[in-house]
Amino acid sequence: MSAIVRIFAVSTVLLAACGGGDDGGDDDGIDVSSLTYAPCAQATHVGGFDIILGDGFTSVQGQVNDAVTPSRVLDTLGENGACAWVKAPSLVCNPACPTSQTCGPGNVCVDAPVAQDVGTVGVAGMLAAVSMPPRPPVYYYNFTGTLPHPGFAAGAGMRLDAPGFSLLGWGIDPLTTNATTIDVQSGAPVTVTWSAPTMTGPAKVEISLNVNGHGLVGSHVDCVVDDTGAFTIPEPMVTSLLGDGMSGFPTLTVRRTTTDSVDTAHGCVELDVESAVTLDVIIPGLESCSGDEDCTPPETCQPDLTCG
């Protein structure tokens, strides 16, 4: 899933129990009428599973830990409508934590999250049977069988089952864009466009603008919006983000997803059915580099992967 903050939003969408209509559904009778965009709160999110509609492949994978990863509970610096400007927390423990621990809130060492055996995980409603047994010691679940691509029908209801919990998913359309780059500059909003879905359903679109992925600040803007095919990130969000620092190879990711969640004994677990596109961000005056050869002398490539 993918380092995107999910703003908790619920949009009730009624889906028919059988497929073929514009309101979705599934011929196998999986009832997805209760499915809404319902991600875990960051403070309780311990992992989950992803059904990924990728470029030429469909995959199913996931992992569940026994605790929240402290660095993934982000601080909110500002909000504007559907968007939030967020930043990774500054966690510095001195002395450094031992290998079995990680730095937590208050700069205190806490036990590092450990991946858990949640039993055999299966997914119903896809175009092939999916079953994933636990694989010690890392318990990273990854379906190694053969899946057609796409691995599910558009509008199909899906259900992930594990001992003790179930999660719902829905057959999204692949998300595409007409561009590979997008222009971003201070003082201006950013309009993002993508392929609109062929049928309505419970999916949302998550947009994440990150202009400092290789710097020390780590702030970014995340928006969760309706799947209409277009959205404009407000100018104040863009200006604040760029003013907080930039580094090489900035990106903007657009992700269509259905997201279901459930509380378990370990914490909150998600299922995402997703399709994403990442665009290279063009910012006036910012030149990215992987080495000195990418820069115009006398400039050289700096540690933050910019020419300077």
Q: Cα–Cα distances in Å, from 192 out to 84, 213, 252, 278?
A: 16, 20, 9, 12
Lookup result for tokens 């090489």: 248
CA distance 60 to 283: 35
Mean pLDDT of 287-294: 97
Average pLDDT over all residues of the chain: 91
pLDDT tops 50 at residue 167: yes
Residue 172 — very low, low, confident or very high, per pLDDT cuts 50/70/90? very high
Residue 19 — very low, low, confident or very high, per pLDDT cuts 50/70/90? very low
CB atoms within 10 A of CB 102: 18
CA distance 26 to 45: 28
CB 131 within 8 A of CB 120: yes
pLDDT tops 60 at residue 18: no
pLDDT at 93: 96
What is the maximum span of the chain, computed from C-alpha positions, in angstroms? 66
- Provide, rounded to the nearest whole percent, the portion of the chain with pLDDT above 90: 88
Paired strand residues for 141: 62
Residue 217 — very low, low, confident or very high, per pLDDT cuts 50/70/90? low
Q: pLDDT, tens digit, for every residue of 33-78?
A: 999 999 999 999 999 999 999 999 999 999 999 999 999 999 999 9
Cis before 150 (ω within 30): yes
- Provide, rounded to the nearest whole percent, the portion of the chain with pLDDT above 70: 90
Predicted model pTM = 0.89
The DSSP code for 198 is S
Strand order across the 121-124 sheet: 130-132, 121-124, 157-162, 165-170
3-state secondary structure of 288: strand
Residue 138 — very low, low, confident or very high, per pLDDT cuts 50/70/90? very high
Residue 215 — very low, low, confident or very high, per pLDDT cuts 50/70/90? confident
pLDDT at 23: 38
pLDDT tops 80 at residue 17: no
pLDDT at 29: 78
Residue 250: what residue type?
P
pLDDT tops 70 at residue 25: no
Tokens representing residue 143 in the block:
């379906």
CA distance 9 to 6: 9
CA distance 233 to 251: 14
Q: pLDDT, tens digit, for every residue of 250-288?
A: 999 999 999 999 999 999 999 999 999 999 999 999 999
pLDDT tops 80 at residue 13: no
The DSSP code for 242 is H
pLDDT tops 90 at residue 230: yes
3-state secondary structure of 239: helix
Residue 28 — very low, low, confident or very high, per pLDDT cuts 50/70/90? low
pLDDT at 80: 98
